[in-house]
Amino acid sequence: MLARLLSMTCNPSHALVVQLTPCQAYRFILLSVLRSGGFSMRGVDELGELCRLVGSPYGIGALLAATGLITWTSVSLWGGVSAGGGLDLRQAWEAPAYFYFGLPVMAAAVAAAAFLLPDRPWRWALWLVCGHQLGVFVLGIGMQSGLSLILVTAILGIMLAVGFTVPAMLGAMLGRAMNERAY
């Protein structure tokens, strides 16, 4: 049915009323956007493959690493914007937004990952910290900090990994409790 809907052309004079489940509707919208935007998809199975990849431990780990990298980079840039309109790149921990926005977002991401896959929850903290530390190192080199930042980066990474293990454990406990109630 979904393939038939995708192959149809819409004519304003014809009214098409179809009852779709929310999952089918999202899939229809995603596929129609991908096809109209010039992306080619050989089959609907590739979308299922993408969903399986994102739901796998490696996919969730990559998303957590990207979350850590993007959080550090965005707060560094946000904290470096001056009132005069200039950009002064600085470390994210120098901005109050890192403590009010960055750390809670990263803790929530780790807890959500541990809720989805509660086995070995400590690994989610490590994935996030790896991406975070990559941002620290890359932006530190960009700020001419040189290799002296490696020791500070290692100490910060250890502290964050230990700290983010707590929300990971809480998310895993909640995930296991929800799974037990489902049966």
pLDDT by residue (tens digit) across 103-134?
999 999 999 999 988 889 999 999 999 999 98
Confidence (pTM): 0.67
Q: Which two tokens stand for residue 25?
A: 């509707």
* pLDDT value, residue 153: 80
Q: Is 87 helix (H, G, I), strand (E, B) or coil?
A: strand
- More confident of the two residues 15 and 176: 176
In this predicted structure, what is the pLDDT of residue 154?
A: 85
pLDDT digits (tens, 9 = 90+) for 132-143: 998 888 887 666
Instruction: Count Cβ atoms below 10 Å from residue 44 Cβ, excluding itself.
Output: 13
pLDDT of residue 113: 92
Q: Is 164 exposed, middle or buried (0-12, 13-18, 19+ CB in 10 A)?
A: buried
**Which tens digit of pLDDT belongs to each residue from 39-87?**
444 544 555 665 566 677 888 899 999 999 999 988 888 877 765 666 6
Average pLDDT, the chain: 75
Read out DSSP for 27-76?
HHHHHHHHHHTT---S-THHHHHHHHHHTSHHHHHHHHHHHHHHHHHHHH
Does residue 4 carry a pLDDT above 60? no
CB 60 within 8 A of CB 123: no
Q: CA geometry: angle at 64 spanning 61 and 68, to 5°?
A: 140
Tokens of 45: 């199975």
Between 20 and 159, name the one with better pLDDT.
Answer: 159
List pLDDT tens digits, range 58-67.
888 999 999 9
With vertex at residue 60, the alpha carbon angle to CA 52 and CA 149, rounded to the nearest 5 degrees, is 150
